[in-house]
Amino acid sequence: MSRWLYTAVGVCLLPWLVVYLQWRGIRQPAYRRHWGERFRGGGKGRNAFSGQERAGMPILWIHAVSVGETRAAAPLITQWLGDAGQAARVVLTHSTPTGRETGAHLLDDLIQAGRLVQAYLPYDLPWANARFLRWAQPTAGLLMETELWPNLLSSAQRRGLPMALINARLSERSAKRFNRFSALSRPALSCLGLVVAQSAADADRLRAAGYAGEMVIAGNLKFDVLPDAAQVERGRAWRALWPRPKAWLVVSSRDDEEAAIGQAWVEANPRGTPADTPADTLLVVVPRHPQRFERVVQILEKAGLRVMRRSAGLSLGAEVDCLVGDSLGEVASYVAATDLALVGGSLMALGGQNPIEVCAQGRPVFFGPHMFNFQAISRDLSRAGAGFEVRSASEWIAHARELVANGPAYRDAATAAGSFASQHRGAVDRTYLALMSWLMDSRSAGPRPPTAARS
């Protein structure tokens, strides 16, 4: 598919995007806001920062799609603004309301000081990209992980804007998709001046996909996101209130996989049986997407579980089988309150979710057979004795029960999880050094000459 055909398809999809945003807005009203940023590009005012042309301030633009990327980008943002001087500014873009809310919470002091503004990255349409770049007027742009948008990168290249991909990853499945659409992916990769990859395997796949520029392997930024101490303490306080002595977590569940989990839990714990079943264990389920909170409650109740919502309080009676975490920004508290975790999105062919936040608090991690978006991490966790692959929810319950019953084995797995997380930290410093070198080279070379648009 050539870029002009890709653009034509995008234009044809505009009515569907309106319907999609309206539908998402039913359960998550934030999706109904800031439509101008999504469809036209830019934010409030003529420019992101007043007096921008006159001051000639350095402006770094970072695109962090959702919550995980925003949390990973926050240390880089604060470090760069601290080193670049009071004139430096940051434009932080997102694709989801939860990502935007996370950025507003983590970086509120910088927003209040006028040093950082937030906006949605527009849909990948030429006019929206052009308007966004005129509004933001960045000195350089950073995209995170796999966010390669053909029209956006082409627009940046025509303006001589240096662009980098940081915390870059490319799974085997995504690499096959890149090869299938090489007419789009190769020109997009050629617009990048730097790629900071998570691993050597990611770097190799990106090179095989067509990237030929500067490459640095720095590790995963998400390992450097430490659990918030206040949240950890809050989670421990929750646990002290719960009547059941054990608690297991299902984190970032997706696409109704809770039905199989609820059914397996009930089958493993028929009422009136001895306490060697999970009768002494509270199930805690934290859905990935807030618009699914109510549906998840209904699914688990239908499976036969007695459910309580986090929003209803935390004074759980002994009759409560399951707590549904229908709150935002409290994952660290849920991890702190539980003994181990099953990573959502992995029992079904959804690619899994990031297990780093779990092992960072020294909790054994379980995951299903479909962790293809986090293949290297899940493999390394298994090798370290901190992670365990299971084929089903029933197998998770059986394996977790055996682990918890064997005190030394559980303690070894918990220690291995914490050690695994600490050994992989340092990506922020390595990424920052690579970016500083690249930015200095970009400034000394001057703006890149505009090039002809690629088809």
Tokens of 445: 């070379």
Residues 206 and 339 occupy one common structural domain: no
How confident is the model over 162-200, as pLDDT tens digits?
Answer: 999 999 999 888 999 999 999 999 999 999 999 999 999
Q: Indicate whether 51 pLDDT > 80.
A: no
Q: Indicate whether 454 pLDDT > 70.
A: no
Structural domain count, the chain: 2
d(CA 184, CA 4): 10
pTM above 0.85, yes or no: yes
- Give the CATH number, domain containing residue 126: 3.40.50.11720
- Residues 435, 83: contact at Cβ < 8 Å? no
Residues 194 and 246 occupy one common structural domain: no
Assigned domain for 453 exists: no
**Residue 94, φ and ψ in degrees, nearest 5:** -140, 170
What is the average pLDDT across 249-274?
88
Assigned domain for 454 exists: no
Pick the closest to residue 426 from 198, 252, 117 (CA basis).
198
Average pLDDT, the chain: 91
Pick the closest to residue 242 from 349, 323, 316 (CA basis).
316
- Give the CATH number, domain containing residue 241: 3.40.50.2000
pLDDT at residue 42, as a whole number: 86
Residues 413 and 441 occupy one common structural domain: no
How confident is the model over 206-249, as pLDDT tens digits?
Answer: 999 999 999 999 999 999 999 999 999 999 999 999 999 999 99
Strands of 307-309's sheet, edge to edge?
307-309, 322-324, 281-287, 246-253, 340-343, 365-367, 387-389
pLDDT at residue 314, as a whole number: 82
Enumerate residues 6+ apart whose C-beta is below 8 A from 185.
Answer: 148, 150, 178, 179, 209, 210
pLDDT at residue 84, as a whole number: 87
**How many of the other CB atoms lie within 10 Å of CB of 342?**
28
Tokens of 151: 């029209």
Assigned domain for 100 exists: yes
Assigned domain for 450 exists: no
Residues 130 and 190 occupy one common structural domain: yes
Q: Indicate whether 16 pLDDT > 50.
A: yes
Within 50-125, residue ranges assigned H as helices are 52-55, 67-84, 97-106, 108-112
Residues 70 and 200 occupy one common structural domain: yes
How confident is the model over 319-343, as pLDDT tens digits?
Answer: 899 999 999 889 999 999 999 999 9
DSSP string over 425-455: --HHHHHHHHHHHHHHHHHHH-SPPP-PPP-
Percent of the chain with pLDDT over 90: 79
Predicted confidence band at 444 (pLDDT cuts at 50, 70, 90)? low
Catalytic residues: 69
User: Which range of residues forms the domain containing residue 37?
Assistant: 3-225+426-445
How confident is the model over 374-396, as pLDDT tens digits?
Answer: 988 999 999 999 999 999 999 99
